[in-house]
Amino acid sequence: MKHTAIAPTVDSQPPTITIDPEFQARIVPLSPDERKQLEENLQRDGCRDPLVVWNGVLLDGHHRHAICEKLQIKYTTVAINFTTREAALEWIDTNQLGRRNLTPEQMSLVRGRVYNRMKAAHGGARRASPQSEDLKTSERLAQSQRVSRATIERDGQFAEAVDTLKPVVPDINQRVMTGQVPSKAAVVEAARDLNRAAEILTKKTAPPKPMATRTPDAESLDDTLTRLRKTVEKYVADVEQLAIVPGLSAPQLATILARWDDWRKRLKGCAPTPATRPPARAQAPHAEQALR
């Protein structure tokens, strides 16, 4: 979905900026270390990049704006004029997708919003089936984001679940953005059962069980030796196969035989008997000579 916007203009004397709660909620929060680093950068270098506004409402640069106001650092703005509020929201989400510091949950939520908005744009009168259009939409977005189509569709379900939960969990967006939900699956489950949403979202994810350590016993050692024996037999088969390939070089066959001999040394008494080793092939006398 594309929206027409008037060419941005930079204002060195920025007007009073309005903070829209919905717009601000779309911005990925900073960790304490990230905020500290940004504050140090602004104090040292100033606010080099202009803040982005739409009709005086801040679209991008919320963190820089807050720090600049706090420390009285001068900044500039660039105005972009969209025709609708929905277009401004789309710009914010698309802009967030370009950031590298998003967590998997944050990226999934933003991608899901973009996908759902793209699907809605294909609504109304259309000859193709909704399923067909949605499939094309997910494939296009998946290609641009370098993920699978199934991932994009799951992202859409996740973003839809977040929107569904807003009436009963007003801070659900902030909780997702700050990693304060058990999992994406829990958010989707809570959206399906709003009466239990609070309970589901407060459950703690069980820590992963430690991997069991297995003490080697006679049976496990026997299994290991059996696998090694099969590996040796495979090398033997390779030698037999390679020996009849026309034009086989001596170094190639020598490498295979060297690997086989190495496995024989490791297996010691468990190695295949000499009878299992294939007889020398008359077709490759040069290889035999190379091994002497």
Mean pLDDT by 10 residues, the chain (292 residues): 49 74 91 93 95 95 96 94 92 87 90 91 53 72 89 95 94 90 94 94 63 48 66 64 57 71 67 48 43 40
pLDDT for the residue numbered 122:
66
The CATH classification number of 1-101 equals 3.90.1530
Q: What is the pLDDT of residue 239?
A: 58
Q: Counting beta carbons within 10 angstroms of the beta carbon of residue 221, is it exposed (0 to 12), middle (13 to 18) or buried (19 or more)?
A: exposed
| C-alpha radius of gyration, the chain, whole number | 32
pLDDT score, position 56: 93
Q: Which residues, in sequence order, are bridge partners of residue 18?
A: 57
Sign of CA dihedral 226, 228, 233, 237: positive
Count, in order, helices (H) and strands (E) of the chain.
13, 4
Question: CB-based contacts of 148: which residues, under 8 Å, 6+ apart?
Answer: 142
Interstrand relation of 51-54 and 57-60 (parallel, antiparallel or unpaired): antiparallel
Domain ranges of the chain: 1-101, 102-204, 218-290
pTM of the model: 0.60
Burial degree of 277 (CB within 10 A; 0-12, 13-18, 19+): middle
Residue 276: in which H helix or E strand, if any? Answer: none
- Number of C-alpha atoms within 13 angstroms, CB side, residue 259? 15
| Residue of 164, 217, 211 lying closest to 191 (CA atoms) | 164
Q: What is the pLDDT of residue 284?
A: 44
CA-CA distance, 277 to 239, in Å (whole number)?
Answer: 10
